[in-house]
A and B are shown apart, each in its own frame.
Chain A
Amino acid sequence: MRRAPSTVVVQRGVFTIVISLVVVLVAFPIARLAQTVWAETDGDLSWILGSAGLVTAVRNTLLLAAVVTVVAVPSGALLALALRRADVPGRGFFRVAVLLPILVPDFVLAYSWTQAYGPAGFTDSMTGLGWDGVRGPVGVAVVVAVNAVPLAYLVTAVGLASRAEPDLERAARVSGAGAWTALRTVTVPLLRPALAAAGVLVFVLTLGTFAIPQVMGAPAGFTTVTTRIYANLSLGGDSASFVEAVTLALLLVVLAGSVVVPADALLGPRLRVRRQAVAEGSVTASAGRAPGRWIAAGLGCYLLATVGLPLLALVAAAVTRAVGLPPAPSNWTTDNFREVMTARTFEALTRSLWLAVTAASLLTLLGACVAVLERRRSGRPLSSMVTLTLVLPGSTLAVALLISYGRWLANTLAIILLAYLAKLWAFAHRPVSGALDRLPPDEVQAARASGASALTAVRTVALRPLLPALMAAWFICFLTALHEVTMSSLLYGPGSETLAVVVLNSQELGGIGPTAALSVLLTLLLAVPAALFWVLLRVVRVPETDPSPEVVPHVA
């Protein structure tokens, strides 16, 4: 289709800007990383196998990713199946609550677990049951899995809603299949692409996970690729550790890529949503409320054990006068909070907020740009690239940016901002892209046919339905940027620590009380905007076309 020249100019301009940003933020740094590794080692990478510590780190990382995937994906799928049943009391609450583990910063969650279940921790002091292994590989695996379950849940829940319509399962039941047979022969096969996608995502994100192994594994001598990069760059100052760090960073992205690229080629076409998520709900009625109540009880216990108790222990540690004292009111104090409310903390807080707001605003714009551009044929490779940054390990990105722009930007907030933009671009892109997919194209066309210019049509007709998605994009980026530490901890310098970095450093060096107090503060800092966002989203939610009552049975 030929378009008027002015439209073409605007489109080309935006396209050029976006493509240059992708090059500057991602493509060039990664290329520079590869080139540096090549130059530093003259292409001889055989020494890698000679370094026992490095081989161990790689082995630990792969093992961790495998174990976490095997645990988290079925758990997430079970959650999605359980929360689809209409007879679970408090279903609306649980649907939000199961996402809590990703809302709580991962290093706070990890630290909370050590405070809850570790020796001299909450359960130890209350019941004498302490778990020595909480700091170590098993503890790391458990908490990384807990952290990954919500993601697996979200991916399978979307898969359930878009592929496994209730009617498909009803057809199985009314063909004579029992509940389990229907699950085995219809639901699970339909979910297979979503389960595979969840597996790939969890595996790759676990490869790049940093904070939990750093907080729970490093003290016990359990190293992963990411924690070794951190150790090499922040502790070791010699050129050998630098070479090892860049090599590991490259290795990490190669590992991630070798999983994602074939998986994307294989799964991509099968995952494209064929139809809108039209309906959800119970497949069949069940007499009595007993099974639903049991599910709710199980969910409650799960949430209590994974998030509730650890956060409670964290708060207890923050308000208790000294380590080891029982968290009784007589031992309560605000000293820990007063101790951490320093000028340095406030500066870090200001920096974190500034970074998060700037990053979120720029990212929403960039995400929307890519979402619009990908609708044109020429924009599709662009969206694939942006989507791939989702699985680009943060450690790799940070090292690559440091090599590429460190000369000018080292120890500044600017390089941290660049890292956030590169890493979170996909986070901003996905919600907007999804909302655009659901936007009926004829609505904008109808506006154009009613005499609106392209800009007016978008402003008057498309913007309102897109608003929740734009807001979601902004808040997801804002919240993620606020608790990002993987990249921040590698890129910060004197005068550019973020609050999350302050908390992480305190967890490594500081006392338990003040660290717990800082962790509580950071979590509150996240919880307040998250709650605000939750309320806002309800306000701006686009009114659905009132479903005719005949449709209600499918929705109910």
Chain B
Amino acid sequence: MSPDPALVMRNLSVEYDGRAALRSVDLTVSQGEVLALLGPSGAGKSTALHVVAGFHAPATGEIYINGELVASPSYLEVPNRRDVAVVFQNYALWPHMSALDTVAYPVRRRGLSRSSAQAEAMEILDRLNIAHLAHRRPSELSGGEQQRVGLARALARRASLYLFDEPTAHLDSHLRVVFLEEMVSRLRASGAAALYSTHDAEEALGLADRVALLHDGRVVQVGTPQQVYDEPADAWVARLTGPASVISSPAGPGHVLVRPDWAYLGGPLEGRLLKVWFRGPHSDHLVESRFGTLLLREPGPPAHRAGQRVSWGLRRSWPVGGGEDQAETEDQISSSFAGPE
């Protein structure tokens, strides 16, 4: 394994039609590491993957894969000579090829004969438990099956860096879980590094070693899933990584961020219950107080009704800069609860 990081993006900027899509991005993916790129659509996630894969050229900055320069404003390595494999959001399966031919394709490009390429492809399909689909074309496969073939094709490339471009975006939620499990276990087994783009915080926090948050082409924060969830760089990151309320600090000046599970009912502070939602395993409470409105989560069914006065307290909180979120409305809290879009 190369002693260099699997991927280094240094001061990387990318433009489309004169519009900046990535601005001075610095990111490193270590060998064997899974880095999730988390951001809303339009943040530049796909752009980042495209420029690493070699589909687009950077305006400034450099990209190194395993220590080897692959892109700079004056040098551009073609995609087929980069040590990367891509799993596409829309699967990008070739409609005129069977699953077997598709998976054999990268093997053939490594110079193997047709028969040995097919043998290796069959082995990969078998490992992913889709050997029975070998002779089907994409039109005869379901979305989940198509994405598995796409994963198989990427694995057949035997790259040291895998790029996942929102691979689960078009999958139903139950298929999503299955696919992610499969993907992560294969990835870990191969020892390869991965850059995984998604707009789903749960997905990013659940599978990545580290998470990079992208906002408008800029990296806002990089850290372990725990770090970006517990210690978000700002209110924007906080909302993107999960439900959060910003209130003025009960303990002093400034504002604090509160995750729903950091607050509890029955504490020293006074408030009034605006709304209650029963969510199955837990209940969510929207509490109005003189520090602001916050969302609070308690296990089990709700014990109070909307309109009642309640007491509440904080287990922990995280200070955030800027007071622009002071006048946060109930709508914003509810929508941030529904998860980032």
Contact = CB atoms under 8 A, between A and B. Distances in A.
Interface in A513-556: 548-550, 552-554, 556
Considering residues A189, A552, A553, A556, which has the most beta carbons from chain B within 10 angstroms of its beta carbon? A553
Given A176-B80, A178-B78, A167 B92 contact: yes
Interface residues of B, number: 41
Contacts of A549: 19, 21, 41-42, 44
A172 B108 CA distance: 11
Interface stretch (A219-227, A278-286, A490-498): A278-286
Contact of B106 (A175, A286, A548, A550): A175
A173 B56 CA distance: 13
B60 to A, nearest CB: 14
Interface string A23-36: 00000000000000
B86 to A, nearest CB: 5
B80 A173 contact: yes
Contact of B53 (A174, A189, A192, A550): A174
A168 interface: yes
B210 interface: no
B201 to A, nearest CB: 16
Nearest to A176: B109
Contact of A174 (B45, B54, B110): B54
A112 B92 CA distance: 47
Interface string B91-106: 0111110000000011
Contacts of B45: 550
Given A167-B88, A178-B78, A186-B94, A284 B109 contact: no
A553 B95 CA distance: 22
A241 B240 CA distance: 83
Given A174-B54, A549-B42, A553-B56, A286 B76 contact: yes
B109 A189 contact: no
Interface in A120-177: 163, 165-168, 170-177
B157 A548 contact: no
A339 B42 CA distance: 64
Contact of A170 (B19, B43, B53, B76): B53
B86 A177 contact: no
Contacts of A171: 86, 88, 92-94, 153
B16 interface: yes
B17 A556 contact: yes
Given A165-B92, A179-B78, A172 B54 contact: no
B94 A190 contact: yes
Given A167-B90, A168-B92, A285-B55, A174 B76 contact: no
Given A176-B106, A283-B55, A549-B21, A168 B94 contact: yes
A181 interface: yes
B83 to A, nearest CB: 10
A185 interface: yes
B42 A550 contact: yes
Interface of B: 16-17, 19, 21, 41-47, 50, 53-57, 74-76, 78-80, 82, 84-86, 88, 90, 92-96, 105-106, 109-110, 153, 156-157
Interface of A: 163, 165-168, 170-179, 181, 185-186, 189-190, 192, 274, 283-287, 548-550, 552-554, 556
27 contacts: A165-B92, A167-B88, A170-B55, A170-B86, A170-B88, A171-B93, A172-B105, A173-B55, A173-B78, A173-B79, A174-B80, A174-B86, A174-B157, A175-B109, A177-B105, A189-B96, A284-B54, A284-B55, A284-B78, A285-B55, A287-B57, A549-B21, A549-B42, A550-B41, A553-B16, A553-B21, A553-B46
